C-alpha cells in the first residue's frame, strides 16, 4: 500500500467459509468482508468524499465556535430542524450555532466531541455525521437549571443538505434529548411514561413545578388553578434544606392572593431550615406564566417582585429526582426579622390548617 500511516484504528467484522478436505485439512477459504467500510475507519479509502464545508461546519458547531465561524460554511439563510424538545423552537442554523455555543462554552466549559463516522450521498446531496458529545454541567446559562456538576455522553446524527455552491443550506439533527438531559440531572427517565406520574414522554427541562404552599391539592388556591395543575406527578421533598417561614397568625402580604391566611414563604438560603415537603406538577410554559401572576413574579430582579422563581432539585417519593420551578420570597429581610421576633416559625411542611383563611376585606382581585 502507498498510503502513509494514519494512526487511526478499525473494528471490522467478517466471515470465513472454510472447506475441509477428506483428509481433514482446509483446502479452500472464502472471506466475506466489507473492506471499504474497514478502510474508511483507518482513513485509507473514504466511502464517499464528504464536502469540506460540511465537515468544517460540523466541527465549528460541536466546538462551540458560534455563528461567527459557522456562517463561513453555510448559506446565509440556512435552516435547522430537530424533533427534540430543547431545540423545537430553533429554525435557523444561526440560532442553533449560538445555542451550541452556549452549551459547549458556558454550560459545559471544556466539553469534548468525537466524529464517529461520516458519509455523503451524491444523489441527494446529503452529508451525514454521527457524533458523540461529552460535557459536565458546571456553568450558569440563562434558561437552564443551576449547575448540577453531572456529566453527559450523548450520541446524535446530523443530516446536512449541501447546496450547488458547496455550502450547507439545511440541517436536521436526530437526537434523544431527554436521555441526555437525564444524565446531567435535568430530567430523570424513570418519570417518563410512569403509570403513576401522568407525565408524557415529551417532558423536558423546565416542565416541572414544585409547590410547598397554598397551591397543593385540597388547599385554597388549588381549585382556581386546576388547569395549570392538572398533571400531578407526586409528593416530593427538597434535596437541600431551606427555611420555610410561616407566620403564627393569619398574615398575607401577597396582593395577588385573595386569602388572609398564614402565608408560607420559602427563603433562598440553602443549608438552613428543613428539607421542605411539597408537590410536583408537570407544567407548560403558559402554565408557568399564570403561576407567575399569582406569585407576583414580574421578572428577574424586578423591584416589584413578591416572589422570584428559580430551579431547584426535589426528590419524589419514588426516589427519582427532578429539576423544578420554585418560588422564593423576594423580601428576605422582613421574613427573617419576623422569625427572630418570634411572630413566625420555621417549618418542614405547610399544612392545610395553616392555609385556612377568609377573603381579604374588600378583595376584588389583583390590582
- The predicted pLDDT at position 364 comes to 62
CB 325 within 8 A of CB 209: yes
- The predicted pLDDT at position 283 comes to 87
Checking if the pLDDT of 195 tops 60, the result is no
pLDDT above 90 covers what percent of the chain? Answer: 37
- The predicted pLDDT at position 189 comes to 39
Residue the block writes with cell 403513576? 196
CB 341 within 8 A of CB 276: no
Which of 2-6, 9-13, 245-249, 336-340 is the least confident region?
2-6
Checking if the pLDDT of 21 tops 50, the result is yes
- The predicted pLDDT at position 190 comes to 35
Q: What is the pLDDT of residues 277-289, one digit of tens each?
A: 999 998 888 888 8
- The predicted pLDDT at position 81 comes to 94
Of residues 164 and 318, more confidently modeled: 164
Q: What is the pLDDT of residues 299-332, one digit of tens each?
A: 888 888 888 999 888 999 888 888 889 999 888 8
What mean pLDDT is predicted for residues 59-65?
96
Which of 44-48, 232-236, 257-261, 262-266 is the least confident region?
44-48
What mean pLDDT is predicted for residues 29-41?
77
Q: What is the 3-state secondary structure (H, E, C) of the chain?
A: CCCCCCCCCCCCCEEEEEEECCCCCEEEEEEEECHHHHHHHCCCCCCCCCCHHHHHHHHHHHCCCHHHHHHHHEEEEEEEEECCHHHCCCCEHHHHHHHHHHHHHHHCCCCEEEEEEEEEECCCCEEEEEEEEEEECCCCCCCCCCCCCCEEEEEEEEEEEECCCCCEEEEEEEECHHHHHHHCCCCCHHHCCCCCCCCCCCCCCCCEEEECCCCCCCCCCCHHHCCCCCCEEEEEEECCCECEEEECCCECCCCCCCEECECCEECCCCCCCECCEEEEEECCHHHHHHHHHHHCCCCCCCCCCCEEEEEEEEEECCCCEEEEEEEEECCHHHHHHHHHHCCEEEECCCCHHHHCCEECCCCCCCC
What mean pLDDT is predicted for residues 186-195?
42
- The predicted pLDDT at position 74 comes to 96
Checking if the pLDDT of 2 tops 70, the result is no
What mean pLDDT is predicted for residues 338-356?
88
Which of 40-54, 75-89, 314-328 is the least confident region?
40-54
- The predicted pLDDT at position 177 comes to 84
- The predicted pLDDT at position 60 comes to 96
What does pLDDT average to over the chain? 84
What mean pLDDT is predicted for residues 9-23?
85
- Tallying the residues shown for the chain, one arrives at 367
From CA 203, how far away is CA 300, in angstroms rounded?
A: 24
What mean pLDDT is predicted for residues 231-252?
88
- The predicted pLDDT at position 162 comes to 95
Nearest residue to 200 via CA among 209, 188, 208, 192: 192
From CA 128, how far away is CA 49, in angstroms rounded?
A: 11
- The predicted pLDDT at position 69 comes to 95
> Predicted confidence band at 96 (pLDDT cuts at 50, 70, 90)?
very high
Max Cα–Cα distance, the chain, nearest Å: 107
CB 181 within 8 A of CB 207: no
Amino acid at each position: 500500500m502507498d498510503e502513509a500511516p494514519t494512526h487511526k484504528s478499525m473494528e471490522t467484522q467478517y466471515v470465513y467459509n472454510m472447506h475441509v478436505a477428506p483428509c481433514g485439512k482446509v483446502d479452500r477459504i472464502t472471506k466475506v468482508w466489507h473492506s471499504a467500510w474497514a478502510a474508511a475507519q483507518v482513513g485509507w479509502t473514504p466511502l464517499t468524499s464528504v464536502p469540506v464545508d460540511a465537515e468544517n461546519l460540523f466541527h465549528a458547531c460541536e466546538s462551540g465556535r458560534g455563528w461567527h465561524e459557522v456562517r463561513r460554511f453555510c448559506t446565509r439563510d440556512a435552516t435547522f430542524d430537530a424533533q427534540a424538545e430543547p431545540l423545537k423552537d430553533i429554525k435557523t442554523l444561526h440560532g442553533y450555532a449560538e445555542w451550541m455555543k452556549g452549551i459547549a462554552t458556558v454550560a459545559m466549559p471544556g466539553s469534548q466531541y468525537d466524529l464517529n463516522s461520516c458519509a455523503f450521498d451524491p444523489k441527494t446531496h446529503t452529508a451525514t455525521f454521527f457524533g458523540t458529545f461529552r460535557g459536565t454541567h458546571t456553568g450558569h446559562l440563562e434558561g437552564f437549571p443551576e449547575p448540577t456538576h453531572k456529566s453527559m455522553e450523548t450520541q446524535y446524527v446530523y443530516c446536512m443538505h449541501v447546496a450547488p455552491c458547496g455550502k450547507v443550506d439545511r440541517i436536521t439533527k436526530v437526537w434523544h434529548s431527554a436521555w441526555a438531559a437525564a444524565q446531567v440531572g435535568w430530567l430523570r427517565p424513570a418519570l417518563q411514561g410512569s403509570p403513576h406520574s401522568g407525565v408524557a414522554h415529551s417532558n423536558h427541562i423546565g416542565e416541572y413545578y414544585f409547590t410547598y404552599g397554598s397551591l397543593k391539592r385540597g388547599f385554597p388556591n388549588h381549585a382556581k388553578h386546576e388547569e395549570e395543575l392538572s398533571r400531578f406527578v407526586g409528593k416530593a421533598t427538597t434535596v437541600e434544606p431551606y427555611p420555610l417561614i410561616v407566620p403564627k397568625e393569619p398574615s398575607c402580604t401577597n396582593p395577588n392572593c385573595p386569602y388572609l391566611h398564614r402565608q408560607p414563604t420559602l427563603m433562598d438560603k440553602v443549608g438552613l431550615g428543613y428539607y421542605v415537603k411539597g408537590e410536583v406538577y408537570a407544567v407548560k410554559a403558559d402554565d408557568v406564566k399564570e403561576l407567575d401572576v399569582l406569585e407576583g413574579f414580574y421578572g428577574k430582579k424586578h423591584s416589584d417582585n413578591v416572589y422570584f422563581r428559580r430551579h431547584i432539585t426535589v426528590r419524589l417519593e419514588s426516589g427519582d429526582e427532578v429539576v423544578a420551578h420554585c418560588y422564593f420570597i423576594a423580601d428576605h429581610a422582613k421574613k427573617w426579622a419576623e422569625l427572630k421576633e418570634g411572630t413566625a416559625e420555621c417549618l418542614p411542611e405547610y399544612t392545610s390548617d395553616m392555609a385556612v383563611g377568609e377573603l381579604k376585606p374588600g378583595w376584588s382581585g389583583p390590582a
